[in-house]
Structure 1
């Protein structure tokens, strides 16, 4: 069927060219701004699953169908011949951190390091460019990728950096390593006498001495002491991140943890017509931006590209740093069940305040205990509110008790998941959880099959921003080398159609935008991506080599020649 479809595209190409000339000569009945013809279009619209042409006017699709029909009906100043290449709706990452992605490239990028020695080497290279006294910052280390899989300590970095404060965030952002100079600036006693904050942990060694490792809310407190980035630096980080996103086919990102000053920068960039994607923002907990949005009302489609109507709340930490809250002990750390960032009562109050302000709650919950607590809160909320209007979200939902999986669909809770988390964690997840708990681990197919809305994303820069890697992980459950054979927990692999929906229409639904974006449908914004190969039919391994040749936002080209 696909071979026949491609054959029709090639056979029509000459006729389309003649019609374009004819239309320009004698005139067509309707005008458009852009026509795309001779394309292999996957629309993600169940009424017209595939097409080979469409027309765009005023930034929106006005017709989708056959090339011959489109060019005989419309005249446009720009006619793009896709030459049989694949076109998909603009891809949407339902959980990505643009600002953090930009900053990880501006500080020391520690992703891919294989040892603490390599970490130190990268730090020393960067330090040579810094003025005296400036903090040395990095992010991206993961001890699970090192031959010696222990957590690093300040003793690993103090000898090289005895005076300059050093702050190194783990890849997941839920743990930080600080040297002695940075701990001292924070007011943390090196001898370990400083008490743990609520929802966090100051890690100590067997002698009770602070190791320099801070978990969850203890790590968050570093921002109260470390110098804040300037507006110019934040702007640079956003622009770098948007450029990367456009080059990879992302026309939408749901950004958790938005701050008040960052929103002001986004507004300015919108006014300057420099924003190249649609941003769905979630405020950082109940902080200053939440207070403003609660008072003034949500930001709704500012400049058609900027929306803030959700709140990112935290239930627990991350699995990699053993901060995810579990119903039973970690299999590799007896006596530790992780931690809750807020008590169940505090979290319920935060969710209620969010809903009272007319905003969507999006709660980070990774462990099965945290997920259950959030589901309980949403269930209680549903007794007095229509959850279908609120569309409550759980971000990550990585470890779910099998008995809780049906509750997502029953309550109308969205499970915003990241396929590459599974393929990054699969090497050590069983050590953390034991074999039995894997039954509900990264179970996106089971959730989808139950009728749950499951938008896909990446959590970049925790994982790669490239949605092709997420698409590949969703359908194979394998790493780039094809490991393991058949995929990890292969029963949770999804079809290519489901994977594409996860990065398009399901992500749009999670942001209340399914009527505006997420498919190539008449009346929707003309957000689309042209690829150099057909990701719906090529061998799975070849998906990782797929490249974006052009990205369009509202009919405007934001990437490509």
Structure 2
């Protein structure tokens, strides 16, 4: 009896607490300049909804509408958006989370205009560093001679420790002589299939390793710890949230990252939503596939796809082409896997219930991958898994319709076009460029584009990508009217590609990607009107707040909370 007397007030108090929590969990964002694409079962030419109030309960959207909506929720927490533009949280459909986090603490030589500028930064960076010196970002196309550098260039400033600097696209590394020595690399070292060791006129390795040849060096680097992965995750998450990215697709994770992500998801400490792809290059792929797909209850982590690598990158002349490179005779790029191997990987992936997301940049790689998909679909099935082509940069015009026929999603990064346009004109002929970065062509045939940045290859700022998609110009508004301007996107279609496009590619179009009833309330407040700001100002958009599931996750210093 005494126990019952004690339980009743506890139950009453609990019920009161639940009621008050429920009321507190209802929020109304009002006085907003709100825009959101609408799904409505369509991924193309959908209308954009406008509103000034957003009602949120238990982290999800209740409804959007005019400001007087707040009168219907008298117990809700009211938040004044002060007239700022409100957009759905942006989704980056192709990035490298841990790579970005690591880059924030490693040597960054992005944008360096010469070898001397790189080595000057290396010299300064190396002063207080021990062991391997790791960096990224060099791009020989920005240098006056556009030639690959050498180990000797690095030796001038660091010769007592190994140095490894990844090219901006991650498809080549530049190392010093100490790294060559530790890896026992010499003139007789053969390049693995799918890789190239750049050698001088005497047959000696110069210090440049392309695609699969990178492993000749990287296998000797210290193993990555779970703690370092977790630290990189936090650093990357903080950066991405500040850019308005509420969800990111991580294009290729290893076992350690897979374990960290799952542990952090179970603890509820992931900084943003992550759609992770298992790396087909991982020796632990079979084990991870056998563990099955993963989805946490709050949709912060989804693992249901495999990242497969078909060819290299255009900048390092590793993209596999049907015809030779215009600036390197008798060179056709590198296929990292044979068609037979691709078909084996697809079969394994589909039978495990996972989608296959395949990196393919050159027209030959895209053609071979499409052939491989087609063959496996006939034999094994898997066509409805929303398989993807990551990048799909240079595609033969006759192969573009096959994406629609085979239900392959082109996962494309608009900023690649504006970063690559000058280099692409040198590497490729006009004929080869007919199907290059063909966003509008893909959309017109009914394909869904999932847009991203490929950070840290490119900067992660999605407003750079939106600007590139809409203009196909650099930040100086060149070339006038845009490069191969027939492929530009409208502001509506660009926003859709960076929201619902990524959501659809992740099987999440009913959960995120737009601010519609029942979806997670992931949204951002920005300092200018995306649809009305002069186009030349669009990339300068600043994110003031980033919200995930109705909770404030990022606040710009100048925009203090109410």
| TM-score exceeds 0.5 | yes
- Counterpart for residue 102 of structure 2: 103
| Superposition map of 1:154-233 within 5 A | 154-189=151-186, 192-233=187-228
CA contact (8 A) 1:32 1:74 kept: no
1:340 aligns with 2:339: no
- The partner residue of 1:36 within 18, 29, 37 is 29
CA shift, 1:212, in A, is 0.8
- The partner residue of 1:275 within 270, 277, 289 is 270
CA shift, 1:185, in A, is 1.2
| Superposition map of 1:446-465 within 5 A | 446-465=441-460
Q: How far apart, CA to CA, are the structure 1 residues paired with 2:74 and 2:128?
A: 56
CA contact (8 A) 1:30 1:74 kept: no
- Counterpart for residue 518 of structure 2: 523
Q: How far apart, CA to CA, are the structure 1 residues paired with 2:229 and 2:79?
A: 36
CA shift, 1:468, in A, is 0.3
CA shift, 1:230, in A, is 2.8
CA shift, 1:376, in A, is 0.8
Equivalent position SS for 2:37: coil
| Superposition map of 1:104-143 within 5 A | 104-131=103-130, 134-143=131-140
CA contact (8 A) 2:162 2:178 kept: yes
- The partner residue of 1:417 within 396, 412, 416 is 412
The 3 A distance-change label for structure 1 pair 94 and 187 is: same
Could you give the per-residue CA deviations for residues 126-183 of structure 1, whole angstroms, max 9, x where no partner exists?
111113xx01111000011112211101121123222211101000000001111101
The 3 A distance-change label for structure 1 pair 501 and 112 is: same
CA shift, 1:275, in A, is 1.8
Q: How far apart, CA to CA, are the structure 2 residues paired with 1:386 and 1:554?
A: 36
The 3 A distance-change label for structure 1 pair 271 and 325 is: same
**Number of residue pairs the alignment of both structures matches:** 529
CA contact (8 A) 1:387 1:411 kept: no
- Counterpart for residue 9 of structure 1: none
- The partner residue of 1:534 within 509, 518, 529 is 529
- The partner residue of 1:319 within 314, 317, 331 is 314
Q: How far apart, CA to CA, are the structure 2 residues paired with 1:286 and 1:175?
A: 16
Q: How far apart, CA to CA, are the structure 1 residues paired with 2:109 and 2:24?
A: 51
CA contact (8 A) 2:35 2:87 kept: yes
1:472 aligns with 2:463: no
Q: How far apart, CA to CA, are the structure 2 residues paired with 1:149 and 1:498?
A: 36
Q: How far apart, CA to CA, are the structure 1 residues paired with 2:137 and 2:370?
A: 31
- Counterpart for residue 18 of structure 1: none
CA contact (8 A) 2:545 2:554 kept: yes
- Counterpart for residue 41 of structure 2: none
Q: How far apart, CA to CA, are the structure 2 residues paired with 1:47 and 1:139?
A: 41
| Superposition map of 1:361-372 within 5 A | 361-372=356-367
Q: How far apart, CA to CA, are the structure 1 residues paired with 2:351 and 2:268?
A: 33
Q: How far apart, CA to CA, are the structure 2 residues paired with 1:95 and 1:537?
A: 27
- Counterpart for residue 65 of structure 2: 65
Could you give the per-residue CA deviations for residues 75-132 of structure 1, whole angstroms, max 9, x where no partner exists?
344211112211111100000111101111211001011111111111111111113x
Larger mean Cα displacement after TM superposition, 518-527 or 375-384: 375-384
CA contact (8 A) 2:25 2:59 kept: no
CA contact (8 A) 1:143 1:149 kept: yes
Could you give the per-residue CA deviations for residues 32-75 of structure 1, whole angstroms, max 9, x where no partner exists?
5211112121121147722221211111101122221x212213
- The partner residue of 2:490 within 476, 491, 495 is 495
Equivalent position SS for 2:104: helix
Compute the TM-score of the two structures, normalised by the length of structure 2: 0.91
The 3 A distance-change label for structure 1 pair 188 and 550 is: same
Q: How far apart, CA to CA, are the structure 2 residues paired with 1:217 and 1:84?
A: 51
Equivalent position SS for 1:383: helix
The 3 A distance-change label for structure 1 pair 48 and 385 is: farther
Q: How far apart, CA to CA, are the structure 2 residues paired with 1:445 and 1:209?
A: 46
Equivalent position SS for 2:468: helix
CA contact (8 A) 1:115 1:146 kept: yes
- The partner residue of 2:378 within 378, 383, 388 is 383
Compute the TM-score of the two structures, normalised by the length of structure 1: 0.91
CA contact (8 A) 2:225 2:256 kept: no
CA contact (8 A) 2:404 2:445 kept: yes
Structure 2 unaligned runs (5+)?
Answer: 1-19, 39-45
CA contact (8 A) 1:417 1:454 kept: yes
CA shift, 1:222, in A, is 2.6
CA shift, 1:301, in A, is 2.9
